[in-house]
Chain A
């Protein structure tokens, strides 16, 4: 295995484009090293991107949007004073990943590129409308988070391409987000169902919404019918029931030891309601 620590994304991309065999990018390493050590994936080329300038920066831009470097850890996101005020759902979702030790290394970008349908941060990012910059041999393009995963363990990134930054939109007025997951214990487990909700209000009425589901399909889902169910409402019981039905209807889960198809489908509706209530309260300025 060749180890490289390039000084720029262009250099990282060129290394990957010219490499033969299996290439992996190393940020926090909490998935890459587990796969390496358990002989699941033994890269021929390992490209450590942590020596690139700015990869650990959390920047609030002039328009209120946020740019996160690809090596920013979950712990750094949780400790940041402003990010969690704007996007508590995104920060809390990342914080659900692993232990204190894992939080010290794990990144949003790694959680996304690992391609797990159950990744906690991914539905929260999709709901928030997060995009990523993808740098490849042909330059850099902006891609929505929901367009990155293509199946379990698979992404839309081509040979030589890597994510070079994470863009979180400006929070703006009267907006709130939330992420909830179901696990059979209180901590340190993989989502059986995850739901991210992000919405905006005018008065008491929801004017915009994005609802995203995790762990209930081969990839994260952005469900337009869920948004339609609550936009125009004040999140009354009828809207909540419509939201739950739309969320359950969108599910296409697997049966496994952690949850049956029926269970995941039912719980998705329940969590969608609860997450929507939290996002709604946050949009009204309540501190939850």
Chain B
């Protein structure tokens, strides 16, 4: 089987790659574009460590093929900071020590950013449901939820 040519946009940059049709978007991001922020935790859409947005929609990049990215706008954790300036979510995750091993953190950041874009004033319950597909085995979630809630409050004040 010959490889397929894909043109897509990742974090605002036009990119191209050749992929086997069985390769997932996650494989293509990590192995072809060297964007290793998204992690493969389970490979079956349960853990959320591979979360990215596609045309603004939060998805698991392990549950989407690389060829399906043709013509789409992909956003990954690498696009969250503005150069050396961390996004407010990233600052709060550090401030709250909302991570230990860090494997889940890129997915949590992408998912939480997507939440705040959809709902700038989420309740704790809404935040917990939105992030229910992002598993963390270190923190017990509480610090993550508090960091996201505090970021939301801060971003509302700033806007």
Whether a CB of chain A sits under 8 angstroms from the CB of B21 is yes
Please tell me which stretch of A28-36, A160-168, A220-228 contacts chain B, meaning at least 4 of its Cβ atoms lie within 8 angstroms of it: A28-36
**CA–CA, A2 and B111, complex, Å:** 32
Whether a CB of chain B sits under 8 angstroms from the CB of A169 is no
B21 contacts A2, C-beta separation under 8 Å: yes
A33 contacts B62, C-beta separation under 8 Å: yes
B132 contacts A36, C-beta separation under 8 Å: no
A179-220 near B? 1/0 per residue, CB < 8 Å: 000000001100000000000000000000000000000000
Whole-angstrom distance from the CB of B16 to the nearest CB of chain A?
17
Set A1, A5, A101, A188: member contacting B51, Cβ < 8 A: A101
Set B4, B44, B57, B129: member contacting A104, Cβ < 8 A: B57
Interface size class of B (residues with CB under 8 A): 20 to 34
Given the known interface contacts A34-B45, A38-B44, the answer about A50 and B68 at a Cβ–Cβ threshold of 8 Å is: yes
B132 contacts A187, C-beta separation under 8 Å: yes
A38's nearest neighbour on chain B, judged by CB, is B44
B111 contacts A101, C-beta separation under 8 Å: yes
**CA–CA, A18 and B67, complex, Å:** 23
Please tell me the number of chain A residues within 8 Å of chain B, measured between CB atoms.
Answer: 27
Whole-angstrom distance from the CB of B55 to the nearest CB of chain A?
10
**CA–CA, A5 and B65, complex, Å:** 12
Whether a CB of chain B sits under 8 angstroms from the CB of A263 is no
Within 8 A of A (CB), among B91-120: 111, 114
Whether a CB of chain B sits under 8 angstroms from the CB of A48 is yes
A70-106 near B? 1/0 per residue, CB < 8 Å: 0001010000000000000000000000111110110
B132 contacts A3, C-beta separation under 8 Å: no
A105 contacts B63, C-beta separation under 8 Å: yes
A188's nearest neighbour on chain B, judged by CB, is B132
Write 16 A-B pairs (CB below 8 A) sorted by A numbering.
A2-B1, A29-B68, A33-B63, A36-B22, A37-B24, A37-B43, A46-B21, A99-B48, A99-B132, A101-B59, A101-B60, A101-B111, A104-B57, A104-B58, A105-B60, A188-B46
> Other than the known A29-B68, A36-B22, what 20 A-B pairs have Cβ atoms closer than 8 Å?
A1-B1, A1-B21, A3-B4, A3-B67, A5-B67, A26-B65, A33-B63, A33-B64, A33-B65, A46-B21, A48-B68, A73-B57, A75-B57, A98-B133, A101-B48, A101-B133, A102-B133, A104-B58, A105-B59, A187-B129
